[in-house]
């Protein structure tokens, strides 16, 4: 039986992780520390809000007082809390520096002072920069080359985490994951944005010609990867977690096909200042621990569309009366 502190647990991946963990390990306890910014919603966790093994603290990872309160009697820290949107980081980089770098530093320092807590850090493949079409995928030995303030802030936090292992012996691990998709993802992100627009009979704004390539992974498969690294990973190590490579145009066409719409629903728009061409991950290292994704992209996308269809109460912001009857489990 373990007690986990999950930072950012009201966000997209954090909420899915809490659901995954408490469903799989019902004797464990989870403390969810979240600032409740626009991306953090307690209604993501309605299923667990009255559960005896779950508790919530509204707090900021940059606050030593908040961290000292949340970390009491904790065995494992799983650190999701982060500013995570590239466009927002271009508009205003400083919140990303404060939360992703300084906040991670405050959390690491508390983990060290409170008895060298086991610390798992959630990061991104974007810290490695971009790839050309024929370049080999990134792996754990790839050089960091972040190209946006968001990616740079995550790369800095990765290095800070590793420094606490090297300098102080703090038992840390890191996962650098592909793009996630699934339930409870904010509609500013590509897949839920396009799904909800199409469900609302609106065109989807596809940047440039949709040529940019990303690796995509169902969020539940990411949660399983974190679980495996916490339980079987070697401390001090990073693990890359991959997905299926798709162009943004392929994603869009898949959504149109499933929702029975044609290409006239695409509105091609300007490209942003920094939009890396391709990300791809070589995840052989984590597969040696026994991890592999359960969901194909096709299956995961169909499940995700079904969730947004069946949970308009969540994304239309029309209230939560239907929530208790609409709690969704990944198929």
Range list of H helices, 44-187? 64-70, 86-91, 94-96, 104-113, 149-168
d(CA 139, CA 241): 9
Residue 234: is its pLDDT beyond 80? yes
Query: What mean pLDDT is predicted for residues 229-251?
Result: 97
Q: Distances in Å between the alpha carbon of 290 and those of 225, 226, 232, 280, 331?
A: 9, 12, 9, 20, 21
Sign of CA dihedral 55, 58, 60, 65: negative
The confidence band for 38, taking pLDDT boundaries of 50, 70 and 90, is confident
In contact, 74 and 31? CB cutoff 8 Å: yes
CA within 13 Å, CB half, 90: 10
| Residues in the chain, overall count | 331
Q: What is the CA radius of gyration of the chain?
A: 19
What architecture is the 3-186+216-247+274-296 domain classified under in CATH?
Answer: 3-Layer(aba) Sandwich (3.40)
Which of 125, 130, 158, 227 is labelled catalytic? 125
Which of 54, 128, 150, 295 is labelled catalytic? 150
Which of 60, 66, 126, 276 is labelled catalytic? 126
Residue 150: is its pLDDT beyond 50? yes
Is residue 239 part of the annotated active site? The answer reads no
Residue 331: is its pLDDT beyond 60? no
Is residue 211 part of the annotated active site? The answer reads no
Residue 326: is its pLDDT beyond 70? no
Residue 82: is its pLDDT beyond 80? yes
Rounded (10°) CA dihedral 109, 110, 115, 120: -80
The confidence band for 157, taking pLDDT boundaries of 50, 70 and 90, is very high
Query: What mean pLDDT is predicted for residues 136-163?
Result: 97
Query: What mean pLDDT is predicted for residues 7-26?
Result: 98
What is the reported pTM?
0.92
Query: What mean pLDDT is predicted for residues 28-39?
Result: 94
Q: Which residue has the higher pLDDT, 284 or 330?
A: 284
Is residue 125 part of the annotated active site? The answer reads yes
**Per-residue pLDDT tens digits for 253-291:** 999 999 999 999 999 998 666 678 999 999 999 999 999
Please name every residue paired with 136 in a beta bridge, in sequence order, or none if there are none.
Answer: none
Where is average pLDDT lowest: 93-97, 116-120, 257-261, 323-327?
Answer: 323-327
Query: What mean pLDDT is predicted for residues 204-225?
Result: 95
């Amino acid at each position: 039986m373990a007690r986990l502190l999950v930072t950012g647990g009201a966000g997209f991946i954090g909420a899915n992780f809490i659901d995954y963990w408490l469903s799989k390990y019902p004797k464990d306890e989870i403390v969810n520390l979240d600032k409740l910014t626009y991306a953090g919603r307690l209604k993501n966790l309605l299923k667990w809000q009255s559960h005896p093994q779950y508790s919530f603290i509204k707090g900021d990872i940059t606050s030593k007082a908040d961290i000292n309160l949340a970390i009491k009697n904790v065995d494992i820290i799983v650190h999701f809390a982060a500013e995570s949107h590239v466009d927002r980081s271009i508009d205003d980089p400083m919140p990303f520096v404060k939360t992703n770098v300084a906040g991670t530093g405050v959390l690491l320092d508390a983990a060290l002072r409170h008895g060298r807590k086991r610390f798992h850090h959630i990061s991104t493949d974007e810290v490695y920069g971009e790839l050309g079409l024929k370049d080999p995928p990134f792996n754990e030995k790839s050089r960091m080359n972040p190209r946006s303030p968001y990616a740079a802030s995550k790369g800095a936090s990765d290095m800070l985490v590793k420094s606490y292992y090297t300098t102080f012996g703090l038992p840390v691990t890191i996962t650098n994951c592909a793009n996630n998709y699934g339930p409870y993802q904010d509609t500013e992100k590509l897949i839920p944005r396009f799904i909800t627009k199409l469900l609302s009979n609106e065109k989807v704004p596809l940047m440039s010609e949709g040529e940019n390539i990303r690796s995509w992974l169902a969020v539940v498969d990411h949660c399983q990867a974190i679980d495996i690294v916490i339980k079987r990973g070697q401390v001090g190590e990073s693990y890359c977690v991959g997905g299926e490579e798709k162009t943004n145009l392929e994603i869009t066409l898949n959504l149109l096909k499933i929702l029975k719409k044609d290409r006239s629903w695409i509105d091609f728009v300007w490209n942003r200042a920094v939009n890396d061409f391709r990300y791809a991950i070589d995840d052989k290292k984590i597969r040696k621990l026994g991890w592999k994704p359960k969901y194909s992209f096709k299956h995961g996308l169909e499940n995700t569309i079904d969730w947004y269809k069946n949970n308009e109460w969540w994304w239309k912001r029309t209230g939560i009366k239907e929530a208790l009857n609409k709690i969704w489990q990944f198929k």
